[in-house]
């Protein structure tokens, strides 16, 4: 019931917190057994499509225990997508956020949040949205765990990716869980940072004061030429200085 009310609130803008996506169209996308939540604005078919991919959401509670609903509680990525004036913009949630599919299990936002089936589901959804926009080019913007999804999709379709942008991104979950001393994500796969992957136009923004995904994790696996450290940023705030750069990508 809580999830349904949250979804209705987003669609009808009936809650106290203004819905940043109110000027975008809602669509459920069936992909690989999951039903994904998306909102979009397509004003110039054929132009590149910008897809904002949500983070891990409310996967764990304040005590570190898995929740029953990974739907995001903050509006960081929704607001970033909604403020983008580019002609073709999408906000794409992760599997089991906002909409609970029959395929959903707690593993999908815990140990298996980067499982091949979930990556394929997101990949399928992005492909469907590109067809809707009648475009061959996509700009992928992924936040936190959504960075992994964006990067995996980019790695699978390098010729179609005009640019890959990540914010506070987890790109190697094995290194990330090891850094924090957390249990490994045993049902997930890591991104392969290959020479071919690095030919994709890309930029990775990391927060200089981010305790969740500290800069050293990205610095250990990516060349400095594709990294930008936003000195005062934490994990979900302080990135204001990069917004215009992201919105200006066309």
Pairing of strands 25-31, 34-42: antiparallel
Query: How many CB atoms neighbour CB 229 within 10 A?
Result: 16
The model's pLDDT over 162-181, given as tens digits with 9 standing for 90+, comes to 999 999 999 999 999 999 99
Question: For all residues of the chain together, what is the average pLDDT?
Answer: 93
State the sign of the Cα–Cα–Cα–Cα dihedral 91, 75, 95, 9: negative
Residue 23's pLDDT band, with cuts at 50, 70 and 90, is: confident
Instruction: Tell me the C-alpha distance between 235 and 250, whole Å.
Output: 26
CATH of the domain at 54: 3.40.50.1820
Do residues 29 and 35 make contact, with C-beta atoms less than 8 angstroms apart?
yes
* Dihedral over alpha carbons 141, 157, 151, 177 (to 10 degrees): 150
Has residue 95 got a pLDDT over 60? Answer: yes
Residue-range definition of the domain harbouring residue 217 = 2-248
Query: How many CB atoms neighbour CB 47 within 10 A?
Result: 16
Residues 128-139: what's their mean pLDDT?
98
pLDDT of residue 30: 96
Prediction pTM value:
0.92
Q: How many domains does the chain have?
A: 1
Which stretches does DSSP call E strand in the chain?
A: 25-31, 34-42, 49-53, 88-92, 138-143, 161-167, 202-207, 227-230
Three-state DSSP at 167 gives strand
Has residue 234 got a pLDDT over 70? Answer: yes
Taking alpha carbons only, the member of 179, 186, 191 closest to residue 221 is: 191
pLDDT of residue 3: 59
Residues 202-207: what's their mean pLDDT?
98
Residues 22-36: what's their mean pLDDT?
93
243's CB contacts (< 8 A; 6+ apart) are 80, 83
Q: Which residues pair with 66 in a beta bridge?
A: 60
């Amino acid at each position: 019931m809580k999830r349904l009310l949250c979804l209705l609130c987003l669609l009808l803008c009936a809650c106290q917190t203004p819905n940043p996506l109110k000027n975008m169209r809602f669509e459920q996308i069936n992909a690989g057994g999951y039903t994904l939540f998306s909102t979009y604005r397509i004003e110039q078919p054929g132009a590149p499509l910008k897809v904002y991919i949500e983070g891990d959401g409310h996967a764990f509670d304040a005590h570190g225990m898995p929740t029953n609903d990974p739907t995001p509680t903050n509006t960081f990525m929704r607001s970033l997508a909604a403020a983008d004036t580019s002609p073709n913009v999408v906000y794409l949630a992760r599997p089991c956020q906002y909409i609970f599919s029959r395929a959903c299990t707690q593993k999908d936002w815990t140990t298996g949040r980067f499982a091949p089936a979930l990556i394929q589901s997101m990949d399928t959804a992005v492909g469907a949205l590109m067809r809707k926009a009648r475009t061959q080019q996509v700009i992928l913007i992924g936040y936190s765990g959504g960075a992994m999804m964006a990067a995996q999709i980019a790695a699978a379709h390098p010729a179609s990716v005009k640019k890959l942008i990540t914010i506070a991104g987890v790109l190697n979950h094995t290194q990330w869980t090891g850094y924090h001393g957390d249990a490994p994500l045993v049902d997930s796969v890591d991104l392969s940072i290959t020479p071919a992957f690095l030919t994709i136009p890309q930029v990775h923004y990391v927060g200089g004061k981010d305790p969740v995904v500290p800069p050293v994790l990205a610095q250990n696996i990516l060349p400095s030429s594709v990294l930008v450290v936003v000195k005062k940023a934490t994990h979900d705030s302080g990135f204001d200085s990069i917004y215009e750069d992201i919105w200006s990508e066309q």
